[in-house]
A = this chain, B = another copy of it.
Amino acid sequence: MVAPSRMSTARALRSGVDARVTASLLARKGRFGGVDDAHGWLADAARGRRMETTRVPIDELAGWRRDESNGYLRHETGRFFSVESVAVEVRGSGAASDAAESSGVTRWCQPIINQPEIGILGILVREIDGVLHFLMQAKSEPGNPGAAVQLSPTVQATRSNYTGVHKGRSIPYLDHFRDPVSGALVDIRQSEQGAWFYRKRNRNMVVEVGDEVDVLDGFRWLTLGQIAALLAVPDLVNMDTRTVLACLPGGGTALSGALSSASAGGFRDALGRSADPGAPAVHTTEEVLSWITAARTRTDLSVESCPLHGLPGWQEHDGVISHHSGRFFSVVGAHVRAEGREVACWSQPMIEPAGTGVIAFVLKRIQGVLHVLVHARSEPGYADVVELGPTVQCDPGNYAGLPASARPRYLDTVLSARDVRFDTVLSEEGGRFLGARNRYLAVEADVEPAADDPDYRWLTLAQLDELLRHSFYVNIQARTLVLCLRAAAVG
């Protein structure tokens, strides 16, 4: 048992962490240089870590087999992941409960990646010169645009990696993330893209070490401020880094204090006040939780396995599975040659989206406190029916040629907004997705959904921060945007 002398209140410790996170966010310079140095290090690290991805028909992928009965695509060892397909039916989402029975029922079929193992996305953190530094890795993935090196977590490991024959001995720093974990600032399972993954969950971890650790080739200690600055560079900070750092305590009154002195009355002041759990909010946290409960109760999400062979709405030509309309995404095969990896080449299926998406928060200052308009959203791969997503999350190309009424709510508001606080194209997990890019936007706009709109609510950053301590409330796209807002706070 922890010695009683170590006992402390949760509140006291949490506010200590908030202050340390804020100090690191404000530090554009760390022990190992400033933002340019970090950028230069990544460029250097790219040499010797190149990756070359060639397209291959999915039936010619070495080591992968189609299941004869249903056409699912699996690795011959049974490991890694499989490409399967599901029939989806959503009922009641976006409708008030009274109307649920009569409202539109939406049905479709689609391929989906099944990767049931819970992996670890871990970042090691250490106080250096009194400031938290995060141990980042320069790493390439085959689906990264240009197969480029991106800023990645200390550890990305699947369970097969760390419980297999080698027990993960080949994965550096993994031991810091094994149970029992001590010094965890973040340790929570979160979902990933529910449109492409069936119930994929990863364990997001930030673990603090006291002692010095060896920094291996390809790794570097960076402050949060340096990482935040790099977030403005297209396709540079990878998705796993973004989700893990978004789960860090958001700064609370420490961030609020730092920003109010810097820009009283301005956007950053409003953003800082939004991080303060003591600031006034449009809805109480109880009201927000009740709204989420209502959405999860109202929405019936049925997701059933179905054969990939002859999947309704989809076609298979030249070893690529794509939608008849050319919209959404395709399943493609890739052959990968990698420099500087233990395994020099391999083949795998990947998901390739049809276009570049738009992922945006609409922001609004209400009584001087910045509020974020979140959307209660259902995706077939969610573990718990509904998660909170960005105000807008779509691929506008999927709506080309459709009537204006079919366009997602607030998409045009976002695209025409003048008060743009963040705007960068970032890419998604390059280990599974080929060239998946989204334009991440945060804009201020004067929109006003009805107070009892079943689908949208204004939340403060402190409320999102509170929800991020728990699993499956805030989706992966919204998590990236939370981190982008923190970057905008100090940018």
What are some 28 contacts across the A-B interface (CB < 8 A)?
Answer: A1-B282, A1-B449, A1-B450, A1-B458, A4-B282, A8-B280, A8-B281, A8-B284, A9-B278, A9-B279, A10-B281, A10-B285, A11-B277, A11-B278, A13-B284, A14-B284, A100-B163, A180-B452, A180-B454, A181-B294, A187-B286, A187-B289, A187-B293, A187-B294, A203-B297, A289-B470, A384-B384, A384-B471
A87 within 8 A of B: no
Q: How far is the CB of A194 from chain B (nearest CB, A)?
A: 16
Size range of the chain A interface in the assembly? 35 or more
A463 within 8 A of B: yes
A7 within 8 A of B: yes
Which residue of the partner chain, among B13, B97, B284, B286, contacts A286 with CB atoms under 8 Å?
Answer: B13
Contact partners of A277 in chain B: CB under 8 A: 9-11
CA distance A283 to B187 in the complex (A): 15
Nearest B residue to A285, CB-CB: B10
A118 within 8 A of B: yes
A189 within 8 A of B: yes
Q: A7-B366, A187-B290, A293-B188 are in contact. Are A180 and B1 (CB under 8 A)?
A: no
Q: A2-B451, A285-B10 are in contact. Are A179 and B278 (CB under 8 A)?
A: no
CA distance A282 to B10 in the complex (A): 10
Nearest B residue to A4, CB-CB: B367
Interface 1/0 per residue, A285-307 and B, CB below 8 Å: 11101100110111000000000
A211 within 8 A of B: no
Q: How far is the CB of A243 from chain B (nearest CB, A)?
A: 14
Using a CB–CB cutoff of 8 Å, the interface residues on chain A facing chain B are: 1-2, 4, 7-11, 13-14, 96-98, 100-101, 118, 163, 167, 178-181, 184-185, 187-189, 203, 277-287, 289-290, 293-294, 296-298, 366-367, 383-384, 448-452, 454, 458, 463, 469-471
Contact, CB under 8 Å: B293 / A189: yes
Contact, CB under 8 Å: B469 / A289: yes
Nearest B residue to A276, CB-CB: B9
User: Which of A97, A179, A279, A470 has the largest number of chain B CB atoms within 10 A?
Assistant: A179
